[in-house]
Structure 1
Amino acid sequence: MPAAGVPLRVVSYNIHSQRDDTAALAEVVRAAGPDVVIVQEGPRRFRWRQKCATLADSFGLVVAAGGLPSLGNLLLTSLRVRVTATRCQRYPLTPGRHLRGAAYAECLVGGTRFLLAGSHLSTDPAERPGQAAAFKRELAAATLPVVAGADLNEGPDGPAWRTVAEGLTDAAVAMDRADRHTYSCANPRRRIDALFVDPRVEVVDYDVVDTPRTRQASDHFPVLVDLLLPAGD
Structure 2
Amino acid sequence: MTHPGVPLRVLSYNVHGQRDDTAALAEVVRGVSPDVVIVQEGPRRFRWRTKSATLAASFGLVVAAGGLPSLGNLLLTSLRVRVTGTRCRRFPLTPGRHLRGAAYADCVVDAAARFTVAGSHLSTDPAERPGQAELFKRDLEAAAHPVIAAADLNEEPGAAAWTVVARRLTDAAVAADRADRLTYSCADPRRRIDALFVDPRITVVDYDVLDTPLTRRASDHFPVLVDLRLPTDA
Q: TM-score, normalised by structure 1?
A: 0.98
Q: Deviations over 1:133-169 (max 9, x none)?
A: 0000000112310000100000002100000000000
Q: Look up the match of 1:194.
A: 195
Are the aligned partners of 1:24 and 1:217 in contact in 2 as well (CA < 8 Å)? yes
Are the aligned partners of 2:114 and 2:232 in contact in 1 as well (CA < 8 Å)? no
Q: Look up the match of 1:78.
A: 78
Structure 2 residue identity aligned to 1:19: R
Please tell me whether residue 209 in structure 1 is matched to residue 210 in structure 2.
yes
Q: Look up the match of 1:42.
A: 42
Structure 2 residue identity aligned to 1:37: V
Q: Look up the match of 1:98.
A: 98
Alignment of 1:32-181 (within 5 A): 32-110=32-110, 111-181=112-182
Q: Deviations over 1:101-135 (max 9, x none)?
A: 00000000021110000000000000000000000
Are the aligned partners of 2:16 and 2:219 in contact in 1 as well (CA < 8 Å)? yes
Q: Which sits farther off after the overlay, 141-150 or 63-72?
A: 141-150
Are the aligned partners of 2:75 and 2:119 in contact in 1 as well (CA < 8 Å)? yes
Structure 1 residue identity aligned to 2:172: A
Determine what percentage of the aligned residue pairs are the same residue: 78
Q: How many residues were matched structurally?
A: 232
SS of 1:136's partner is helix
Q: By how many angstroms is 1:30 displaced?
A: 0.3
Mapped to 2, the partners of 1:11 and 1:4 lie a distance apart of 21
The 1:201–1:187 alpha-carbon spacing in structure 2 relative to 1, beyond 3 Å, is same
Q: Which sits farther off after the overlay, 138-147 or 162-171?
A: 138-147
Q: Look up the match of 1:230.
A: 231
Mapped to 2, the partners of 1:87 and 1:77 lie a distance apart of 15
SS of 1:65's partner is strand
The 1:207–1:3 alpha-carbon spacing in structure 2 relative to 1, beyond 3 Å, is closer
Mapped to 2, the partners of 1:88 and 1:13 lie a distance apart of 18
Mapped to 1, the partners of 2:4 and 2:90 lie a distance apart of 37
Q: By how many angstroms is 1:3 displaced?
A: 5.2
Are the aligned partners of 1:86 and 1:104 in contact in 2 as well (CA < 8 Å)? yes
Mapped to 1, the partners of 2:3 and 2:128 lie a distance apart of 42
Are the aligned partners of 1:112 and 1:231 in contact in 2 as well (CA < 8 Å)? yes
SS of 2:185's partner is coil
Which stretches of structure 1, 4 residues or more, deviate above 4 A after TM superposition?
none
Q: TM-score, normalised by structure 2?
A: 0.98
Q: By how many angstroms is 1:4 displaced?
A: 3.3
